[in-house]
Every structure is written in C-alpha cells, then in structure tokens.
Amino acid sequence: MWPSKNNHFCELLHCYANQVAELDKMVSKLVFESYGVEKYHESHVGSVTYFLRLAKYRAPEQNETNLGVRPHTDKNFITILQQNEVDGLEVQLKNGSWIPVDFPPFSVVIMAGDAFSVWSNGRVHSPFHRVTVKGKGRYSIAQFAYCKKLVEAPTELVDDEHPLLYKPFDNLGFLGFISTDEGRKTQNPLKAYCGI
C-alpha cells in the first residue's frame, strides 16, 4: 500500500477507510428503511466495494482559472467527503446556479451518486458538483462506494406514478462507458448507458 515503508500512515488510512465504510452502511440503511425496502440492504452491503481518494488542489496562479474539478456527478452509489479548512466544493441547484457547500470543521459531506439514482428509480438525486480553489491550496479525502453486482430499482419503487427509468445498471461497466467517445460526447451519460 502507498506509501511504502510508512506503516503508521497506512494503518491510519486503513482505519479511517473502515470507519467511513461503517458510516456508508448506516446512511444507506437509513435510506433503504425510509423507502420500506430494508430487506434488500444486506445484499446491497455485500455487493459494495470502496475506493478511497486523497486529493490536493494547489492554489491557482494569478492568470489561472479557479476551477479545480469540472462539474460532474459521481458515478458510484454514495460518496463521503472530508476536507481541510479550505472550502471549494460547490453544488448546482435545479435552476442552474451554483452554491458553496459550508463544511463545518471535522464534518463530512455525503452525496448520492448515479448508481443511487438508478437504484431509487430517480427518487434520489445525484447532484452536479465542482471544486473551485481560491487563495489557498485545498486537501480532501473521499471514499466512493461502488456496487459490484447489477444495480436495479426494487419493484416496490416502481409504480404508475414512478415508471421504471433505468435498465439494470452495471456500476463498474458505467465507468468504462464514460471513458468511451460515446460516453464523453453525450449530455447525459447515465441515460445513454441504461436509460429506458
């Protein structure tokens, strides 16, 4: 594990990742319960794999843009994000405007990804977000929960008012799709990949 020969750092990172995974399980369980489909939660937990990313965004030079990460939705099920005291995360509202996310110290932000939107049949929104960096460098750590099995909406979440929006969804296959020419060119990669 990176970095080699720094066992203490590796142990701390592993411990952090395990604790964040427990938080992910609690959050997803609460959502499953809120929709009355908690019977599917254990199977979901068994299908999740995690990816942990450490990020450093340097302060822009005077003639550079402030954009650290372009607008995007997360492609996974749930993202849990923590940052240093330097803000920069912004979320796009339905009207197209951008608002900063206020991070109290030692807090986390939990965001639904595209896989969660597919699972919920569109009830859970995967927000567009970006990172802007101004003045000082920014550090963040994000843990992404991906599903290893096909993601599909429980039958309980499909009815006349909520017709099925997506075909069964291969979360890891979707990552491959968005890196293809077709995936990069489309305005809505999720709909192009598995929309009905």
Distance CA 153, CA 61 (A): 46
Query: Do 132 and 68 meet the contact criterion of CB atoms below 8 Å apart?
Result: yes
**pTM attached to this predicted model:** 0.91
Q: How confident is the prediction along the chain (196 residues), in pLDDT tens digits per residue?
A: 566 678 888 899 999 999 999 999 999 999 999 999 999 999 999 999 999 999 998 888 887 777 778 899 999 999 999 988 888 899 999 999 999 998 888 899 999 999 999 999 999 999 999 998 888 888 999 999 999 999 999 999 999 999 999 999 999 999 999 999 999 999 899 999 999 9
* Interacting residues of 195 by C-beta distance below 8 A, sequence separation 6+: 165, 166, 167, 188
Q: Which amino acid does the sequence have at 107?
A: S
Domains of the chain: 7-194 (2.60.120.330)
How many other C-beta atoms can be found within 10 angstroms of the C-beta atom of residue 107? 10
Closest CA to 141 of 12, 27, 37, 7: 12
Exposed/middle/buried for residue 30 (C-beta within 10 Å: 0-12, 13-18, 19+): exposed
Task: Return the sign of the alpha-carbon dihedral for residues 171, 53, 90, 58.
Answer: negative
